[in-house]
Amino acid sequence: MPQPLEFIADVLPGGHLPTWRREQIARVLTMYEGGEVQVVLRRPKRTTQANRYYWKVVMGELQRAAIAAGHAVSTEELHEWFKRKYLPNRTANVLGAEITLPPTTTDLDQTAFSEYIEAIKNDEMTIQLGAYWPEPDGAFRSYRIAEPA
C-alpha cells in the first residue's frame, strides 16, 4: 500500500497547482488505480513555527512592554485578553443543551491566524505600550507564518 500523500501548496491563478505538483499527484494516483482515494481541500492549520512566533515573539514582547509600563501580566493572561477581544465565542451541544465556550486560536488556519496576529499588533492598547515585533523569519513564505515551500 502506498504511503499517504499530504502537502501544502500555493494555488496559482485560475485555481491550478504548480505543474510539478500536478505531475506528482498523477504519479501517486497510479498506485491507487482501481481503488478509492480521499481528497480533502482546506486551508492549512497554523504551524508549530507560527505558534512559536506567536508565543515567543508576539506575546513575549507584549508582556515585556506591559511590565515596563507597570502592568504585572503573564503571557497567558494576554493571550486570554486578545482571543476574547478578537475571536468569536464558540457554541457546542452538550447533552442536548446549547452552551457557549470561550474562543480558541487552536482551529485557526494560517490566514486567520496571521490576521489575528495583525489585529493584536494594530490594537490601540498594544500601540500605546510601544511594543515592537520583528517580522517572521525570511524562511516563511507569502508573509503568512507557514512552513517553508
Q: Are residues 78 and 101 in the same domain?
A: yes
Nearest to 145 by CA among 44, 61, 40, 12: 44
Q: Are residues 121 and 63 in the same domain?
A: yes
**pLDDT (mean) for 30-55:** 86
Strand partners, 94: 97
Q: Using 50, 70 and 90 to split pLDDT, how confident is the model at 142?
A: very low
Q: Are residues 52 and 123 in the same domain?
A: yes
Does residue 96 belong to any structural domain of this protein?
yes
Could you give the number of structural domains in the chain?
2
In eight-state DSSP terms, residue 55 is I
Q: Are 129 and 66 in contact (CB under 8 A)?
A: yes
**pLDDT (mean) for 118-139:** 85
Query: Which of 5-19, 85-99, 106-120 is the least confident region?
Result: 5-19
This prediction's pTM: 0.67
pLDDT of 137 reads 65
Q: Using 50, 70 and 90 to split pLDDT, how confident is the model at 140?
A: very low
